Amino acid sequence: MNIFKSSSSLALAVLMLLSSCASSVKITSSPSGADVYADGFYVGQTPMRHKDAKPTGTTLELKLEKEGYDAFETEITKDARLNVKALLGSMFIVPLGWILAYPKARHYVMKSNLDEPFSMDANRDGTIVEVKSTSAVGSAIFVVATENTPCSGRGDVSTLEAFMGIRLMKDYNVLERRNLSVLTLEQTRQLTGLHDESTIVEAGKLSGAKGVVLVSRFCDGQSNTVTNARFVDCETGALHWALVSKNQSIDQVAAEIRAALKR
């Protein structure tokens, strides 16, 4: 009888030890239904929860794939929060190696392939506009400039944001950029592992915006100033419209977008 009790106690202790070593992270994406690969192995589709017993400090190699979107690769490190189970099980000493756990959740925004196939030779005036949906016209949006380095003159992202925001106010309810900045900073501090644009879109979602217009200007190395603008849906990650323009002013770019939305 004593032997049986000892075996049962040992089995219970082992179960407690194993359970205290494991932690999980909820993985979601915009859009959902993306195939998830963890450390090279297929583990399911988003939304899903991944669980393993890796020790503190190790990383989970993550890859998301979905037809029509760029493959998304990132890492999640097991150092984001305290593993309470491991702490409670620290009487066994071993669980101390699992004292930190995965973050509770990670949300990733996948980038549509729509941005890639543009050819600047396809249009005589060097502008291509693709509109997939006008359903968001009139809704609340943020305008975020990610780069402003034209071939001539000085570029400033704040100026680019202001100019584009003013032009888009005729078709959208443009929200104050300052409100997004606070959330973006908070995301950067707490949700490490998100790419910059993903952080912006997720912060826009938390701020109640329908979408975020990401705009950038850069010199292509051939003395052409290229403007790239796209409307990303904060909920689904889909593109409502996208534009690539060459050697046009912001006024001209905004006019192209407005004309395309009214077609």
Summarised one tens digit per residue, pLDDT across range 157-166 is 888 989 999 9
Backbone angles phi, psi at 13, to 5 degrees: -65, -40
Class of domain 113-261: alpha beta
Summarised one tens digit per residue, pLDDT across range 193-226 is 334 577 778 777 877 889 999 999 988 878 889 9
261, 129 Cβ separation under 8 angstroms: no
Res. 23: pLDDT tops 70: yes
More confident of the two residues 76 and 85:
76
Instruction: Give the chain's radius of gyration (CA, Å).
Output: 24
Summarised one tens digit per residue, pLDDT across range 129-138 is 888 888 889 9
- For 25-29, 41-45, 80-84, 166-170, which range has the lowest pLDDT when averaged over its residues? 80-84
Instruction: Give me the pLDDT at residue 192, please.
Output: 40
- How many CB atoms neighbour CB 182 within 10 A? 11
